[in-house]
Amino acid sequence: MAARYDAIIVGTGPGGGVAAQVLTEAGRRVLLVERAPLLPNSALRGDHLHGKRNAVYWPTVGPGQGHPRLIRAGDHDEVVDGTGDAGPYGLNADVLGGGTRVWQGMSWRFLPEDFAMASEYGNPEGASLADWPVDYDEMEPHYTRAEWELGVAGETGALTRRTPRSAGYPMPAMGTEPARELLSRAAERLGWGWGPIPLAINSVPHDGRPACVRCPQCVGHACPVDAKNGAHNTFVARAVASGGCDLLVDAEVIEVRDGPSGAGVTIMADTSGEPVTLTVSADVVVVAAGAVETPRLLLASGIGNDHVGRHLHDHRFTTIVGMVDEPVKPFIGPGHSIATLDHVHAGSIPWGGGVLVDLMGLLPLTSAMAPANEGVPAWGAGHKQWMRDGRAHVFGVFGMGQEIPMPVSRVTLAGQVRDRWGRPGAALRKNVHAASRLVEDGMAVEGARWLDAAGARAVRRLSGPATASAAGEHSCGTMRMGDSPEHSATDAGGRVHGTRRIYVCDSSLHPTNGSVNPTLTIVANAFRVSQRLVEAWPR
């Protein structure tokens, strides 16, 4: 590697990966830094005990020892380590490709209203909903590029009628399955629109890689045949193949510096061996480490204004389950299959509502640890009998809606809680606004209606903890874009207010999170931000 580059990019997830591809295509020399060591797909699949979602032991995509966080809930503080439960820690994925290495692949466009939540709904007391500094029309060409360059399998129809498109999908939707057949008939009885979920998974051979083999283990695991598309096998791979990008793995950026004539970073390299300190300079630094680690790094570097780390939010989730006579989730992948958007910005659920999708087939470990039926013994003969005969008949619907952001929900520095390099860890606090509870309740009502129409019995809403994890897979908002430093941490181009050469390119830019999965929007916005950087390169 060199001592100086045109750009240093921190993080190899969808935002950092896109930035690396766009900048190398423009002829810029890039250093792309990833904290995790390089792991093959074979090390990230097949082991449910270490899978991200239900890890009994340390998750394979966790940061490992030496990366504690402080979780602040009410007046109680709890230190959690990177070797423990992914939920309380707020783990996305510490691995080449970020969350897209082990995701389900749902690839939605935000609806036009999602970019104007404050204008559409106002702000309840204590909330910080904000409009994006861009609208759907400006984002549309970037969405199209994202779908084609990431590789999305989908179908135009009921799920795309409110998101005008300049092109179709590059691949046909994934094939049907019993759950889709059952819920599609139920949706038609209710008069709801429905369609197959757009997925960044090869439904046919694509981009030199095979089609999905329909195993049901996408979430939390890498793909056994490399048919699932993510930053690692698309954007990062293209950037490195161009010859213009040096990829440095097993290395952590611990400081970012800005200046009138250049920027730079301090890196701890070979972190799993004998660490060495590197100092590298560049014209610009692009931070794309996610909604927790991006503000943590910038706060530790003394960069940014009071909005850095604030407005931390995710999605609100609701799960509704019932029993059906004939199993409809016979462990056929890739997972979620059918959705309706009829309760997104439709008035039936407040604050923008949420998407409803079929519940993915539950892994045996999931069912054993948390049986979906009431009255199932936690162990013993009765538990074994239910695992053999009962769990196959469980069927459900899953709702995901906009969480209402609050300025008091934030990432700060943890003070006395230090990482392996002696830096303050991230301290996470997320309060749940009452309006977010209304979104959950509304999704539960409509999800139950869908299951009732499908003929399910014993329909009920699964209960969960009163507060979701402080940060989750869909976390965003902590470096929100805006038109002025008074209301945001970055400008519309992702440049950190008060800096000349420090940019952000990940989910932390999102002022709001939409009512669908955010990854395609991360990719599309990264294309927009990166192209804007190319066109207005700091001198």
Contacts 24+ apart (CB under 8 A), 121-128: 121/351, 121/352, 124/404, 124/433, 124/434, 124/435, 126/406, 126/408, 126/433, 127/404, 127/405, 127/406, 127/433, 127/435, 128/310, 128/311, 128/405, 128/406, 128/407
Query: Tokens for 464?
Result: 């969960």
Task: Give the dihedral of Cα atoms 532, 535, 538, 539; nearest 10 deg.
Answer: 180
pLDDT at site 438? 97
Mean pLDDT of 508-529: 98
Among 93, 73, 68, smallest CA distance to 414 is for 68
pLDDT: which is higher, 385 or 147: 147
Q: Is 250 helix (H, G, I), strand (E, B) or coil?
A: coil
Q: Which of 146-150, 454-458, 470-474 is predicted with the least confidence, judged by mean pLDDT?
A: 470-474
pLDDT at site 55? 65
pTM recorded for the entire structure: 0.97
Would you say 100 and 200 are in contact if contact means Cβ atoms under 8 Å apart?
yes
Among 301, 305, 304, smallest CA distance to 266 is for 301
Mean pLDDT of 69-73: 92
Cβ neighbours around 164 below 10 Å, total: 11
Query: Over the Cα atoms of the chain, what is R_g?
Result: 22
Which segment, 270-274, 392-396, 431-435, is predicted with the most confidence on average? Answer: 431-435
Instruction: Quote the Cα angle for 140-443-337, to 5°.
Output: 60
**How is residue 313 annotated by DSSP?**
B
Q: Is 511 helix (H, G, I), strand (E, B) or coil?
A: coil
Mean pLDDT of 200-221: 95
Query: Tokens for 123?
Result: 């702000």
Q: What percent of the chain has a predicted confidence (pLDDT) above 90?
A: 81
pLDDT at site 60? 85
pLDDT at site 328? 84
Among 535, 537, 529, 509, smallest CA distance to 18 is for 529
Would you place residue 330 in the very low, low, confident or very high pLDDT band (cuts 50, 70, 90)? confident
pLDDT at site 62? 87
Looking at the predicted structure, is the pLDDT value of residue 415 above 70?
yes
Looking at the predicted structure, is the pLDDT value of residue 467 above 60?
no
pLDDT at site 85? 72
Average pLDDT, the chain: 94
Looking at the predicted structure, is the pLDDT value of residue 209 above 70?
yes
pLDDT at site 368? 82
**Domains plus CATH for the chain?**
4-535 (3.50.50.60)
Looking at the predicted structure, is the pLDDT value of residue 466 above 50?
no
pLDDT at site 437? 96
Cβ neighbours around 115 below 10 Å, total: 23
Query: Tokens for 228?
Result: 């699932």
Cis peptide before 170 (omega within 30 of 0): no
User: Which residues are paired to 281 by β-bridges?
Assistant: 4, 264
Taking each continuous run of H as one helix and of E as one strand, the counts in the chain are 11, 19
pLDDT at site 371? 75
Looking at the predicted structure, is the pLDDT value of residue 428 above 70?
yes
**How many Å apart are CA 397 and CA 455, to the nearest integer?**
13
Report pLDDT digits (tens) over 46-65. Answer: 787 777 776 667 788 889 88
Which segment, 319-323, 350-354, 378-382, 414-418, is predicted with the most confidence on average? Answer: 350-354
pLDDT at site 469? 61
**How many Å apart are CA 250 and CA 361, to the nearest integer?**
34
Looking at the predicted structure, is the pLDDT value of residue 124 above 90?
yes
Report pLDDT digits (tens) over 333-346. Answer: 898 999 999 999 99
Among 5, 14, 6, smallest CA distance to 508 is for 14
